[in-house]
Amino acid sequence: MHFIPKHKAPKTPKKLFLNDFALKNAITFEKDFMRRFENIVFCELLWYKDEIFYTERLDFYIPSRKQAIVCIPFLPPELILRRFQTILTHLKSLDVSTLTVLTVGNEGEGKKEGVNCEILPFWEWALRQ
């Protein structure tokens, strides 16, 4: 089990992630694809061995890499890029240089005010790691 804290809010609840993301299915009937997808991404991030946080708008924030990750499995790239623009101020306040949006199968990219946004299928991102 791993707990990740909210960035600059140590007293807020931490997010729980499991090394074996299928374990939750063995102990509960709740099916939550989004939460499972996020847990799979976290398992890949463990290879970084960097400190990982979350924020109110980002699933994962890795300050040492100036990277943020958001899991949006099914949204089309056009809508993802629109969301990127809405969180741009938040990204800049954290000094993020790259926002990676992980999907099930969509791809795309954008750049605004010095912040890159790459939209990648999970499998492609995981193979890069």
- What pLDDT does 25 receive? 63
- What pLDDT does 10 receive? 80
Residue at token pair 């109110």 = 56
Contact 7, 54 (CB under 8 A): yes
Query: Token digits for 47?
Result: 């290879």
- What pLDDT does 26 receive? 64
Mean pLDDT of 88-108: 97
Contact 68, 61 (CB under 8 A): yes
* Domain residue spans of the chain: 2-128
CA distance 15 to 2: 8
- What pLDDT does 66 receive? 97
Degrees to nearest 5, angle at CA 120 with 118 and 121: 170
How many other C-beta atoms can be found within 10 angstroms of the C-beta atom of residue 110?
17
